[in-house]
Amino acid sequence: MPELDEYVNELKDIWDARWLTNFGAKHEAFRKALISRLGSERVELLVNGHMALELGLKALGLESGEVITTPFTFVSTTHAIVRNGLTPVFCDISPDDYTMDVSKIEDLITDRTVAILPVHVYGNICEIEAIQDIADRHGLKVLYDAAHAFGERYKGVGIANFGDISIFSFHATKVFNSIEGGAAVCRDGAVSEKLRLLSDFGISTETDIDETGANAKMNEFCAAMGLCNLRHLDREIEKRRQVTCAYRERLEGVKGIKLNPLQDDVESNHAYFPIVVEDEYGMSRDELSDALNEEGIFARKYFYPLTSDCGCYKGRFDPAATPVALDISKRVLTLPLYASLDEETVERICKVILK
Ligand SMILES: Cc1ncc(COP(=O)(O)O)c(C=O)c1O
């Protein structure tokens, strides 16, 4: 959170304007700030990352068919596909960085495939060039779920600039938040325009309703929070980098504990610190999680279960069809990570793991 005074300053403008939502001045100021930060012109703000995904698929004109995606993600990714009347087809993940295994995508393409929806999971960047090559050869759309990747760059280019659309989440738990919020960055101006209409009931003019839209607009209070937090983003990322370095110093080389990879060509936002508990560790992921809990340390089994194994999808998909993802989901534990996490606490957490 920013200092309260900084936020209150933004709120004064809202009180003066007496404009609370529906594309007000804060909305526009935040959108412009993001255009400059992301290095992309076509930024649409939304009420959250989920609606950016859901309406993003709709804005791409995908009304039926199959979408190749990953089950190793937050349920939102899969729900967005299903809620659009599309069918998720799950591709396995790479055991190295947990993003979609590109060598397995083409085997899943059928004459019903319309899009690929990869996730930059934990901020680990997907194999962008290979995915675009497959999409181009098969005439498929690409929508990146970049909910975890805000602020990252790949080969010097802002991560928003890949695929037909990249979406971000500005949820309170993310590296960068606008309380709740999200954005979609579109390659094509017409898609961007359609997304904006879809976020406002499809209303073009007072009497023209041109799309079956939803209400997914970002309000002025969220935009104001986004404006404040954006000013402090670089400092936030730097502090998180220091926390991840402190973890790495203590956990690198520990038998049976696999750390998240450092990817070449990627400027990371240090959003998450997942570890994978391998057999040689001598204790299961669940046992380690319990041991940490007993010390008042709450690591998360993030992402477990696979989305293909969630209660609402039981019997519909076969989680065993993505064996790497299934295995990692049973072994992964995401350690506490936030900017103000001090080195002493990191030391305490690591001591439990080492013991
Ligand atoms: C991978 C992924 N996709 C989508 C979302 C949805 O974002 P939001 O919570 O802003 O709706 C999240 C969020 O939490 C996420 O982790």
**CATH number of the domain to which 222 belongs:** 3.40.640.10
pLDDT, residue 36, reads: 96
The answer to whether the CB of 99 is under 6 A from ligand 1 is no
Looking at residue 110, its pLDDT comes to 98
Report how many domains make up the chain. Answer: 2
- Measured CA to CA, the distance from residue 277 to residue 180 in angstroms comes to 32
Residue 319: which pLDDT band, with cuts at 50, 70 and 90? very high
Whether 249 and 312 map to the same domain: the answer is yes
Expressed in angstroms and rounded, the spacing between residue 347 Cα and the centre of ligand 1 is 30
pLDDT 10s digits, 125-170: 999 999 999 999 999 999 999 999 999 999 999 999 999 999 999 9
To test the ligand 1 pocket, which listed residue (55, 76, 125) has its Cβ within 8 A of the most ligand atoms?
76
Rounded CA-CA distance 41/52 in Å is 17
182 contacts 49 by C-beta, under 8 angstroms: yes
Q: What is the mean pLDDT of residues 227-234?
A: 98
pLDDT at 302: 93
> Do 165 and 199 sit in the same domain of this protein?
yes
Q: Which atom of ligand 1 is nearest to the CA of 50?
A: 11
Token couple for 349 = 């957490």
Two structure tokens written together for 77: 């990714």
Let me know whether 64 and 194 are in one domain: yes
Local confidence band at 201 (pLDDT 50, 70, 90 cut-offs): very high
Same domain, 222 and 264: no
Nearest atom, ligand 1, residue 182 CA: 10
Ligand 1, residues 72, 73, 74, 75: which to mutate, most atoms within 8 A of Cβ?
A: 74
pTM: 0.98
* 217 and 242 housed in the same domain: no
Q: What is the mean pLDDT of residues 170-190?
A: 97
Residues 246-289 have pLDDT tens digits of 999 999 999 999 999 999 999 999 999 999 999 999 999 999 99
Distance 247 CA to ligand 1 centre (A): 25
Instruction: Give residue 250 CA to ligand 1 midpoint distance, Å.
Output: 30
* Per-residue pLDDT band at 204 (split at 50, 70, 90): very high
Ligand 1 atom index nearest CA of 173? 14
Burial of 215 (0-12, 13-18, 19+ CB in 10 A): exposed
Domain span holding position 116: 4-231
Last residue of a domain, one of 216, 231, 246: 231
User: CB of 105 within 8 A of CB of 91?
Assistant: yes
Q: From atom 7 of ligand 1, which residue's Cα is the shortest distance away?
A: 49
- 49 in contact with ligand 1, CB cutoff 6 A: yes
CA atoms of 175 and 252, how far apart (whole Å):
24
Shared domain for 218 and 92, answered yes or no, is: yes
76 CA → ligand 1 middle, Å:
6
Does ligand 1 lie within 6 Å of residue 42's CB atom? no
| Distance from Cα 284 to the centre of ligand 1, integer Å | 28
Claim to verify: residue 130 and residue 200 sit in the same structural domain: yes
CA of 17 to the centre of ligand 1 (A): 31
Judge contact between 26 and 155, C-beta under 8 A.
no
Top mutation candidate among 47, 169, 302 for ligand 1, by most atoms within 8 Å of CB = 169
Are both 193 and 86 inside the same structural domain? yes
| Same domain assignment for residues 248 and 321 | yes
Q: Which of 205, 231, 257 is the last residue of a domain?
A: 231
Mean pLDDT of 332-353: 97
Q: Are residues 210 and 259 in the same domain?
A: no
Mean pLDDT, the chain, whole residue set: 98
Cβ atoms of 142 and 135 within 8 Å: the answer is yes
Q: Are residues 147 and 293 in the same domain?
A: no
- Residues with Cβ within 8 Å of 213's Cβ and at least 6 positions away in sequence, in order, are 55, 197, 198, 199, 200, 201, 202, 203
- Distance from the alpha carbon of residue 49 to the mean position of ligand 1, in angstroms: 5
CA of 168 to the centre of ligand 1 (A): 8
Q: Is 122 left (phi over 0), alpha (psi -120 to 50) or beta?
A: left
Split at pLDDT 50, 70, 90, the class of 221 is: very high
What's 320's domain CATH number?
3.90.1150.10
HEC letters along 280-316: HHCCCHHHHHHHHHHCCCCCECCCCCCHHHCHHHCCC
For a pLDDT cut of 90, what percent of the chain falls above it?
A: 100
Over range 60-65, report the average pLDDT: 97
Quick one: 114 and 136 in the same domain? yes
Q: Is the CB of 45 under 6 A from ligand 1?
A: no
Give me the pLDDT at residue 82, please: 98
What pLDDT shows up at residue 248? 98
